[in-house]
A and B are shown apart, each in its own frame.
Chain A
Amino acid sequence: MTVLATALSDFLHAAVEPQVQVDAIGIGAIYALMAVGIGLVFGVLRLVNFAYGQLVMAGAFALAYASDQDWPVWLGIVLCFVVVITLTLAMERVVFRPLRGKPAATMLVATFAVAFLLQAVALLIDQTDDTLGEPAASLAKLNVPWTILGTDVRKITVVAIVTAAVCLAGLVLILSRTTVGLHMRAAAMDFETARLLGVRADRVIGSAVLLSGILAATVAVMLTVQQPLVTSTFALRETIVVLAGVVLGGMNRLFSATLGGFAIGYASGLLGGALPTAQSQYLPSILFGLVIVILLVRPGGLFTRGPGPVERV
């Protein structure tokens, strides 16, 4: 009993360290962006995109390529956005569109397949130069620490938090102030009625997918700074965790899904930063154990009110 109490108190002490807190918020910010990207598409298509991480991975490969070609950083970032957005739109056209209206289970398994396919393609590309993984070295300088009030904060953590805040604010503006934003919200609530009123399905879906692609590219830049060695499984772990977070928060609302993404990122940052090494290797177990417990208590989502998800797998 005392052992447990000491361990808990050690954990809590470590967890309140500003250092740990800042890092956890940084991870939460990136996960929140991924959650929005997944949630936007779910809103209009009722499709959980398992392949979201592979979009991020494609962006990371673009950055590594640019770095390898000694392109300036900004040009690499442009390439990253072009590649990710193109791939996202292609995915919508080739996979999502024919799947429209199919059962949720079919869509989930299909994007699962696409995820593996893209990962395998990336592996093939990766191996053409006989190395495993490509370094995106030119971005690494963003990973250096700043000391603010005695706390070492990596530049990228600040960038991530600020970027996430800006992206989320921008998204809120788009959703609440623009016509296409209104159409997207309406489509997420009741697609059929929205169409009966003249809201164009293709345009609404296209916009949601485009926004989710932009977010994936943004995430790709920030993750690549933190993990400059780009392999075919890049962002895979993150996606699995974010998916759990999104379902945990509540898929039905973009807001709750985003909070869910943030919460699971924050929790994993906290656990990773504050647990002693011997235990931190069991971080996934603790995290997913928590996920199961929370899903049992609140199957409809942690941050939602009312009944659970509408879809049925």
Chain B
Amino acid sequence: MSSSTLVVSDLVVRYGAVPAVHGISFEVAPGEIVGLIGPNGAGKSSTLNAITGLVGPFSGSVRLGERDLTGRAPEVVARSGIALVPEGRRIFGELTVDENLRLGLAGRRTQRGVAEDLERVLELFPVVAESRARSAGVLSGGQQQQLAIARALVAAPEVLLLDEPSLGLSPAITDTVFDALATIRDSGLAVLLVEQRAQRTVAIADRTLVLANGELRLTLTPDDAGDTERMIHAYLS
């Protein structure tokens, strides 16, 4: 499978007259995790929304390899190889786990290799595999989060976007999720990880971008993991 780099250039997002993101640029290459952290309201979700086409960018561009995806409809972006694990998981609680996974297939570019991909994903998340026939609504938060990631992965994307996947999870489950992310990166996907847990993100990501008030302020590397809080604090205040 050919892999391409997600390139976001000079992205500006506005809600009416209210600016949320002021011209940020970054790239996420295959086989790397890029972290995106920042305080509440910094514009992290808005950045993801602009990439996935939920909001039209006011200006700037979003490209995946050769393809220009700027301002395309969400389903077009999804079918171009960008999968999202949305904020709050957005699992279809009234459908079964299996049906949720089948919905993930909607984003595939080819129907070949479905069985293999499914098998690989379920291997990564045994909890999901065990509860395929159950209604997704009865799963615990951690299980739902894993289902949401699995649902994104069965689309066989090139880029995986995650919006605060550890929100509300216990430390143990967070470990599971972050371990899975490392495996996913190693399989060659480009991963953009939006998080509130700064330290853990900095530790796992190849680079971590710090966003505040819609602007990129700082880039951290795993070496900074030890004193992330201090650095961010020093820089933002």
Chain A positions 188-234 with a Cβ under 8 Å from a chain B Cβ: 189-190, 192-201
Q: Which of A190, A194, A195, A200 counts the most B-chain CB atoms under 10 A from its CB?
A: A195
Question: Contact string, B69-80, partner A, CB cutoff 8 A, digits 1/0?
Answer: 000011100110
A198 and B102: CB pair below 8 A?
A: no
Chain A positions 162-206 with a Cβ under 8 Å from a chain B Cβ: 179, 182-183, 185-186, 189-190, 192-201
- Chain A residue numbers with a CB within 8 Å of B104 are 197
Shortest Cβ distance from residue B198 to the other chain A in the assembled complex, whole angstroms: 26
Contact (A179, B73) CB under 8 Å given A186-B92, A186-B95: no
Shortest Cβ distance from residue B180 to the other chain A in the assembled complex, whole angstroms: 19
B13 close to A (CB within 8 Å): no
Secondary structure at chain A's binding surface: helix, strand, loop or mixed? helix
Shortest Cβ distance from residue A106 to the other chain B in the assembled complex, whole angstroms: 20
Contact (A199, B95) CB under 8 Å given A182-B102, A190-B90, A193-B90: no
- Chain B residue numbers with a CB within 8 Å of A190 are 90, 92
- Chain A residue numbers with a CB within 8 Å of B127 are none
- Chain A interface size, as a band, is 10 to 19
Shortest Cβ distance from residue A198 to the other chain B in the assembled complex, whole angstroms: 3
- Chain A residue numbers with a CB within 8 Å of B155 are 197-198
Chain A positions 20-68 with a Cβ under 8 Å from a chain B Cβ: none
A194 and B103: CB pair below 8 A?
A: yes
- Chain B residue numbers with a CB within 8 Å of A194 are 103, 106
Contact (A195, B75) CB under 8 Å given A186-B95, A190-B92: yes
Closest chain A residue to B109, Cβ basis:
A198
- Chain A residue numbers with a CB within 8 Å of B102 are 179, 182
- Report the separation of the CA atoms of residues A199 and B102 in the bound assembly, to the nearest whole angstrom: 11
B54 and A183: CB pair below 8 A?
A: no
Shortest Cβ distance from residue A175 to the other chain B in the assembled complex, whole angstroms: 11
B94 close to A (CB within 8 Å): yes
B73 and A183: CB pair below 8 A?
A: no
Residue of A182, A185, A193, A201 near B73 (CB, 8 A) is: A201
B207 close to A (CB within 8 Å): no
- Chain B residue numbers with a CB within 8 Å of A195 are 73-75, 78
B107 close to A (CB within 8 Å): yes
- Chain A residue numbers with a CB within 8 Å of B54 are 192, 196
Closest chain B residue to A200, Cβ basis:
B75
Contact (A196, B74) CB under 8 Å given A189-B92, A189-B94, A190-B90: yes
Contact (A201, B75) CB under 8 Å given A182-B102, A196-B52: yes
Residue of A179, A183, A189, A192 near B74 (CB, 8 A) is: A192
B99 close to A (CB within 8 Å): yes
- Chain B residue numbers with a CB within 8 Å of A198 are 75, 78-79, 106-108, 155
Shortest Cβ distance from residue A3 to the other chain B in the assembled complex, whole angstroms: 50
Contact (A185, B95) CB under 8 Å given A193-B90, A197-B104, A199-B103: yes
Besides A189-B92, A192-B54, A200-B106, 6 other CB < 8 A contacts? A189-B94, A196-B74, A197-B151, A197-B155, A198-B78, A198-B155
| The 4 A-B residue pairs with the shortest CB-CB distance in the complex, in nearest-first order | A198-B107, A198-B78, A198-B106, A195-B74
